[in-house]
Chains A and B, each alone.
Chain A
């Protein structure tokens, strides 16, 4: 039997009957009374073709016309052999695992497993029978999501990138059951539903018998069940090594260290780790180990957004875990300005001392000029009473006018100090200064806004300090005409002051955070914090949210994470950056997925075996050929003069 995709168009067959009616109406004989009947008979005998010719012409015309009209009607009605509908339609769920491990690169195929799976899904789609439908399932934000019903020839479409695709069979079964059947599948014959799972890490599934229609697709042992539906698994690519970060911790260095911090990392395999300083230089290491500690020697004055660390091994198939971006915490003191009296030569001891105390900073030294702005993170004023704009001030023998005045220089003998009581709020302990001595000592006048730290018996207050919006340390000794920089107590004092100053910037967030973990911060009560991902996505981008809002509780604490995309994040409060951290992708089961290549399935087995064709299958073609041959025959007969 024949079947029709659009049976309503069979009404077009009425055109054939209509054509016959019109044709014969047009051929009706008009009656006319005439005389000279014998002459008409004679004329008719001479000009009229014989009856068989007229009959032949009539039959050809009717044959050609009715065959062409019938062909048109059959074409419009979508005639097709019934063999294709003898088997029930198939609803095939093509589940494409788009977990990160599917991004593993196949060196044999020069593609990722994901691309291979997508191509395979397209092949399967193209192999469906016309009435079959397919539904592609991906994971998005950790949940399986089914796409629309697709038919043969439709495009499979790209899979969304996600870093969470837990292939839990129960979730997948719920998703498949929620899809239902395409509208045209109902009513009977009942549809065959099956699952074609394209993954690199097949879950453990219970065995199940193969559906009758798909028996040739795979051996019986390869069929399993998902949510009651028969499922067959196919994998792609080849197994390979993967050496990637599975743990990374960054610890910033103390203030006096030349390094910015220390990165401790642990790798999944043996690989080569390298670091790339943005805008600075590229450095590489041969870290042929499973773990390493890497001191990050980045200048403190480098205003970098981060440090990219890469891990590579030979034929590292999964590149997602090869990338970690380390945000370097900004030091509050990255530039130092030393001001000296006009006309005086530079004091190399003072410069060297500052380089030792704050290594890696950019130091500028110049004479003080009246009215010229002095701006830096730390301004060292050597007997210069300027009013600089700075985070911290180190004043030798002079004070900014706003803080107070000092008395003229006088000689101060060593060992005649009297230390005042310690000030805990300073954050550091004043060392024993009794060995200090100097020919030039500048005692403070009364009324200054600094807190005295030590008083000379003969001269008065020679050490004072202040904290607040900016830290100020006053030293009444001249760095040139005293032994302040030569005895241990002087640099110790400066070192402690600087450590307290640098340690006042609290760290809200750990600089490195695994994406799937969360961390607790303590930022203050009822603060609305925003976690925003850096738009520079890097190689590990995925599908998911890029910013979050967090409100701290009464105790000022909040929890951040897990995050959905790896990358560099900023923690903002009312637009002000509080911290910067990097989320990196670690999913040990995914990274260690035991990939087992399975032999590919024959997608051609999706379509049932073809039956023996009969003349009915060729009926439309027969009609068309009859029409064509009729036309040719009529033309030839006309050429030969047989018909008129």
Chain B
């Protein structure tokens, strides 16, 4: 499954970046980084299904009473860095010859892999997911990649309570990385608003496909938007020019709205090479730890 996201060469390069992150971490003092330890802390971290051998004392019996399933209640130690990878799973993400959805997963997966070296915990969820998947530094790289790869496009949704609670729990130790194409900006802006509210740092990776900005269309065309109503249009140079201007204005407005929430924004094409994006984020110090 992981091979569907990265080639071996890409994985090798990502592992080298991860090693660099681990060296930094080993030199840092205890408490200067966010904790990666789950289970013994004071702050609730996340739930995970019960498996044989787990400590029954950590079972959340309230949840068992509601759902009739056993979940372990995990806690985080204070001072740990958490990286929340949030994916906008709107249908418009599944578009482009170089698919935006795949590009988003690759970017977040790459950042997650690298972040496992520097962060104490990596949280993964789509906007609408009812539960946030949590991966600590000691966790399996393979499990993380499989979890990312298994994510599918669903529908346009606002962030779920789980994602919001993940921000609310330890907002100041959390870095939010949201991958979206900003075509349903309400969810993203709501997420950024939550992040700002709880003091989390946020960066939006704004993805686009080339054919979205420069559509190769001409003549009588029945347009079938991935979200929205179909329409018929005779496309010529004048129409294309108007479309390009509208898209440009829209994206500029989105960037302004993102920055208004105090979040960063990176424009990424679905055709762009993966490594420069990761390196750019690493250099920004975003994953260096708590403030």
Interface residues of A (CB under 8 A from B): 27-44, 46-48
Contacts and interface: CB of A to CB of B under 8 A. Distances in A.
B220 A40 contact: no
Given A27-B220, A39-B250, A48-B233, A33 B227 contact: no
Given A35-B181, A36-B212, A42 B220 contact: no
Contacts of A30: 219-222
A321 B225 CA distance: 106
Nearest to A35: B92
A247 B72 CA distance: 155
B231 interface: yes
Interface of B: 92, 95, 181, 183, 209, 212, 215, 217, 219-229, 231-234, 238-239, 242-243, 246-247, 250
Contacts of B217: 32, 34
Given A36-B183, A36-B212, A47 B226 contact: no
Contacts of B92: 35-36
Contacts of B227: 35, 37
Given A43-B242, A47-B238, A32 B232 contact: no
A399 B60 CA distance: 185
Contact of B221 (A29, A38, A41): A29
A36 B247 contact: yes
B228 A41 contact: yes
**Which of the listed residues B95, B209, B215, B231 has the most CB atoms from chain A within 10 Å of its own CB?**
B231
Given A30-B220, A32-B222, 11 more contacts: A31-B222, A33-B224, A34-B212, A34-B226, A35-B181, A35-B212, A35-B227, A40-B223, A40-B233, A43-B239, A43-B243
B220 A44 contact: no
A34 B232 contact: no
B242 A47 contact: yes
B215 A34 contact: yes
A27 B229 CA distance: 21
B165 to A, nearest CB: 31
Contacts of B221: 29-32
B246 A43 contact: yes
A42 B231 CA distance: 11
A40 B183 CA distance: 13
A38 B225 CA distance: 8
A40 B224 contact: no
B225 A34 contact: yes
B271 to A, nearest CB: 15
Contacts of A38: 225, 228
A44 B95 contact: no
Given A27-B220, A32-B223, A48-B233, A37 B239 contact: no
B228 A37 contact: yes
B224 A31 contact: yes
Contact of B231 (A27, A33, A36, A44): A44
B223 A37 contact: yes
A523 B29 CA distance: 163
A28 B224 contact: no
A460 B238 CA distance: 146
A34 B246 contact: no
Which 5 pairs between the two chains have the least Cβ-Cβ distance? A37-B225, A37-B228, A29-B222, A35-B92, A39-B246
Given A41-B231, A46-B242, A34 B250 contact: no
B232 A29 contact: yes
Nearest to B245: A43
A36 B225 contact: yes
B229 A41 contact: yes
A39 B253 CA distance: 13
A39 B225 CA distance: 10
A39 B250 CA distance: 9
**Which of the listed residues A35, A41, A43, A46 has the most CB atoms from chain B within 10 Å of its own CB?**
A35
Nearest to A49: B234
A553 B216 CA distance: 109
6 contacts: A27-B220, A29-B232, A30-B219, A32-B222, A33-B224, A37-B229
A34 B230 CA distance: 10
Given A44-B233, A48-B233, A35 B246 contact: no
Nearest to A41: B231
Contacts of A27: 220
Contacts of A39: 243, 246-247, 250
B219 to A, nearest CB: 7
A32 B224 contact: yes
A297 B66 CA distance: 163
A237 B268 CA distance: 108
B192 to A, nearest CB: 21
A348 B224 CA distance: 140
Contacts of A42: 246
B11 to A, nearest CB: 30
B183 A35 contact: yes
**Which of the listed residues A46, A47, A48 has the most CB atoms from chain B within 10 Å of its own CB?**
A47
Contacts of A28: 220
A36 B233 contact: no
A29 B234 CA distance: 9
Nearest to A54: B234
A41 B250 CA distance: 14
B220 A36 contact: no
Nearest to B249: A39
Contacts of A31: 221-222, 224
Contacts of B234: 48
B230 to A, nearest CB: 8
A279 to B, nearest CB: 96
Nearest to B224: A33
A34 B222 CA distance: 10
B226 A37 contact: yes
Contacts of A48: 233-234
B220 A29 contact: yes
A90 to B, nearest CB: 59
Given A40-B231, A42-B246, A34 B183 contact: no
Given A29-B220, A34-B223, A47 B228 contact: no
A68 to B, nearest CB: 24
B250 A36 contact: yes
A42 to B, nearest CB: 6
A37 B91 CA distance: 12
Nearest to A46: B242
A42 B233 CA distance: 12
A28 B219 CA distance: 10
A30 B232 CA distance: 9
Contacts of B247: 36, 39
Contacts of B219: 30
Nearest to B209: A35
Contacts of A35: 92, 95, 181, 183, 209, 212, 225-227
Contacts of A32: 215, 217, 221-224
A48 B235 CA distance: 9
A40 B247 CA distance: 9
B239 A47 contact: yes
Nearest to B232: A29
B18 to A, nearest CB: 34
B45 to A, nearest CB: 36
A322 B221 CA distance: 95
Nearest to B242: A43
Contacts of A29: 220-222, 232
Contacts of B212: 34-36
A638 to B, nearest CB: 16
A41 B247 CA distance: 12
A43 B209 CA distance: 19
Contacts of B243: 36, 39-40, 43
A43 B221 CA distance: 14
A28 B224 CA distance: 15
